[in-house]
Amino acid sequence: MAFKIGLLGLGTVGTGTAQILLDPSGRNPLLEELEIYRIGVRNPEKTRPIQLPPGAVTSDLESIVTDPDVDIVVEVIGGLEPARELILKAIAHGKHVVTANKAVIARYSDEIFDAANDAGVYVLLEAAVGGGIPVIQPLKQALGVNRIRSVTGIVNGTTNYILTRMQTEKADFADVLAAAQKLGYAEADPTADVDGFDAADKIAILASLAFGGRIKLEDVYREGISQVSAADIAYADKLGFVIKLLAIANREMLTDDPTDRLRLRVHPTLVPQTHPLASINGVYNAILVEGDPIGQVMFFGPGAGAGPTASAVVSDILNIAAVLTQNSFLKTHSSKLHPLLTCTHQHYCKIAPIEELTTRFYARFLTKDRPGVIGKLGTSFGNHGVSIESIVQTGFQGELAEIVVVTHDVREGDFHQALDEIRTLDTVDSIPSLLRVL
């Protein structure tokens, strides 16, 4: 029995996927059962670096998702449309779907999984988060026996590369971004990465799997890294921290109720240097999962790239093929889906607003160089119940004194009220940095 694959897209990930499928020796023997049957591309005339099955390539993508002979559709074209539409049409035609498309899944998982469950097909997405790192499947399966407390990830390689270089070279954001763009580590329009949109898509997907409920993408609080300065990285280092763009989903744990509210957020974060995520550098990704009774487990690896992402795509294909092989009736008879490969939750997770987050803060102030400024800052924080861990005048920026404050755990709303009061002080010039501390 061979399973026929319809591959949508032949960019870097599509090419990497084809390379694995066309060269199965030394890999899982089940790969021999997979056939690249049709390949949809924009330009069929283009010369490709790989030898493709003759006649497989077409520019008519819709003909692939409706082809009665195709068993599994692999969507690696990216972007919202026509990817979403092709996925839905493939499902409607009874195809199983493998996708690397975090943007589509984070926005349209409701309709996609509703359609898939109605049609009795699988939609797998290991490649959507963490590149080659197996994290989606462990969350669905091995870790699912735990009550998950938190998922904390470095899930965007571009921003981690930029922050790592800023740290090692003591360079500013704009300079490192420009260098990263030249090297191809950042897009010409870097918004999706540096403003945290990509990380928000990914934590929405991870949270949905970890906590077994649907997530509205707009519920993810999001800040990017463009405000992080070389000065902040240097102060963080002195205080024993590195700055990372973290994507965090955690249960509030205010009650014993395992369905209590979630906190979902993407923001630059001061991470203690001894924390497992602190040493994840460059384009690498890592996802740390905490649960009961497992404690902490972390998955680390290449977060992007043709080879790693293709590895994840093909592992999903393999999973579907394994289930189909196991029960050869499944292809023609309607049968129950494998419960650890499906996403069947219908309810939406309750999300706590960011104002109710409790966290430590790092803030950097520029003030006039007058006696009593630190006292005034301290008084304003005290007025709003914000307890200070340290407040240090670190030096001068021109005429202005620079003061760095680290708080104990405070309610985000209280902290911002204190800042509103501080902004009215005539001795305070500006607050150039405001970062949360893990």
Paired with 313 in beta bridges are none
Measured from the CB atom, is 258 or 395 closer to a copy of itself?
258
E strands in 241-344:
241-251, 262-272, 284-292, 295-302
Q: Which residues bind a copy of itself (CB under 8 A)?
A: 16, 19-20, 25-31, 126, 132-134, 137-138, 141-147, 212, 258-259, 276, 279, 291-302, 305-308, 310-312, 314-315, 318-319, 322-323, 325-328, 335-340
CA–CA separation, 50 vs 167, rounded Å?
39
Spatial CA neighbour of 278 closest among 230, 237, 226, 220: 237
Paired with 433 in beta bridges are 364
Cβ at position 102, least distance to a copy of itself in Å: 17
Helix (H) or strand (E) holding 431: strand 428-437
Alpha helices by DSSP H, listed for 345-411, are 373-383
Cβ at position 146, least distance to a copy of itself in Å: 6
Measured from the CB atom, is 179 or 337 closer to a copy of itself?
337
* 342 alpha carbon, distance to own chain's centre: 20
Cβ at position 24, least distance to a copy of itself in Å: 9
Q: How many CB atoms lie within 10 A of CB 323?
A: 16
Cβ at position 177, least distance to a copy of itself in Å: 25
Q: How many CB atoms lie within 10 A of CB 293?
A: 7
Q: How many CB atoms lie within 10 A of CB 107?
A: 18
Spatial CA neighbour of 241 closest among 406, 68, 409: 406
Active site residue 336: no
Measured from the CB atom, is 258 or 272 closer to a copy of itself?
258
Measured from the CB atom, is 145 or 188 closer to a copy of itself?
145
Handedness of CA 11, 13, 17, 20 (dihedral sign): positive
Query: 337: which DSSP letter?
Result: P
Measured from the CB atom, is 88 or 98 closer to a copy of itself?
98
Measured from the CB atom, is 196 or 291 closer to a copy of itself?
291
* 121 alpha carbon, distance to own chain's centre: 25
Cβ at position 302, least distance to a copy of itself in Å: 5
Contacts of 338 (CB under 8 A, 6+ apart): 122, 323
Cβ at position 371, least distance to a copy of itself in Å: 44
- Residue of 89, 95, 102, 202 marked active site: 202
72-75 and 96-99 beta bridge pairing: parallel
Instruction: Provide the annotated active-site residues.
Output: 202
